[in-house]
Chains A and B, each alone.
Chain A
Amino acid sequence: DQQVKQNSPSLSVQEGRISILNCDYTNSMFDYFLWYKKYPAEGPTFLISISSIKDKNEDGRFTVFLNKSAKHLSLHIVPSQPGDSAVYFCAASAYQANNDMRFGAGTRLTVKP
C-alpha cells in the first residue's frame, strides 16, 4: 500500500530558477512530513521537515508547504543550484501512532547550469 506518492519521477530546471517537488499522501494519521535528498552511492540525507500544525517551514533556500485538506506537500528550492541535482524523497510518519516513516518513490531533480 503506497501511502506516500511522488507522481513525477523526474524534474529538470535551469540554474537560478525555482524547483517545485510535489508529494501526496493518503493516511490521515500522518502528522510529520519530511524531505530527504539522496546522491548516488549514499544513503538519504534529511533535508527539512514540517509538522501538521504548520503549513510552511523554511530553511534557507528550501521551503516546505503543507496542505492538509488536500493531503499534499511540496518542496520549493529557490534559487536552484547544480549541486541540488539529486533524488528527493518525501516521507511521512504518524507520531502519535508511534509508527515508522513511509517514503515516496522519489523525484530525480536535475539542475542545468
Chain B
Amino acid sequence: DTGVSQDPRHKITKRGQNVTFRCDPISEHNRLYWYRQTLGQGPEFLTYFQNEAQLEKSRLLSDRFSAERPKGSFSTLEIQRTEQGDSAMYLCASSQGQGAYYGYTFGSGTRLTVV
C-alpha cells in the first residue's frame, strides 16, 4: 500500500471556475477526512466519511463545496465558483476506526491557487 494519494498536487484556477480534487485512501481504512490548511495555520476540519456515508460537515464547508465517497473507496471534493479565499492546501486523510490513538494517515495535499 502506498499510503494516501491525492490528485492533483497543484491546481491553479481562475476565480469563478469549478475544481475537483481526488483522494485515494489506504484501502483497508473505513474513514476518510478532508481538511484545509492555510499559511500559518493548522489543518481545519471540513468533512468526513465512514465508508460511503458523510457523517459530519464543518460550517466552513459552504454550499459551494461538496464531497462524495461513492462505494466507500476514493473521495472527491468539488468547489464550485471558486473564490480567492479558497486558495489553500486541501488535505485528505484516512483511518481505520476513529484514529483517536494511532492517528490519521495524511496525503501530501492538493495546493489550490485561485487567481
How would you classify the secondary structure of chain B's contact residues: helix, strand, loop or mixed?
A: loop
Contact B45 A101 (CB under 8 A): yes
* Total interface residues in chain B, CB < 8 Å: 26
Q: Which residue of B lies closest to A95 (CB)?
A: B100
Tell me the smallest distance from the CB of A14 to a CB of chain B, in Å: 25
Contact A43 B108 (CB under 8 A): yes
B interface list, Cβ under 8 A from A: 4, 33, 35, 40-45, 48, 55-56, 91, 93, 98-109
A100: interface (CB < 8 Å) = yes
Tell me the smallest distance from the CB of B53 to a CB of chain A, in Å: 13
Contact A98 B98 (CB under 8 A): yes
Contact A43 B109 (CB under 8 A): yes
Taking CB atoms, residues of chain B closer than 8 Å to A32 are 100-101
Known: A49-B101, A100-B45, A105-B41. 15 other contacts (CB 8 A): A32-B100, A36-B106, A49-B100, A89-B43, A91-B103, A93-B100, A95-B98, A100-B48, A101-B33, A101-B99, A103-B43, A103-B44, A104-B42, A105-B42, A106-B42
Supposing A95-B98, A95-B100 touch, asked if A9 and B40 sit within 8 A by C-beta, the answer is: yes
Q: What are 17 A-B pairs with beta-carbon distances under 8 A?
A: A4-B42, A31-B100, A41-B108, A43-B106, A44-B43, A46-B103, A49-B100, A49-B102, A51-B100, A51-B101, A95-B98, A101-B33, A101-B99, A103-B42, A103-B44, A106-B41, A106-B42
A interface list, Cβ under 8 A from B: 4, 6, 9, 31-32, 34, 36, 41-46, 49, 51, 89, 91, 93, 95, 98-106
Taking CB atoms, residues of chain B closer than 8 Å to A46 are 102-105
Kindly state the separation between the CA atoms of A36 and B95 in the bound complex, as whole angstroms. 15
Q: Which residue of A lies closest to B42 (CB)?
A: A103
Contact B40 A105 (CB under 8 A): yes
Tell me the smallest distance from the CB of B79 to a CB of chain A, in Å: 19
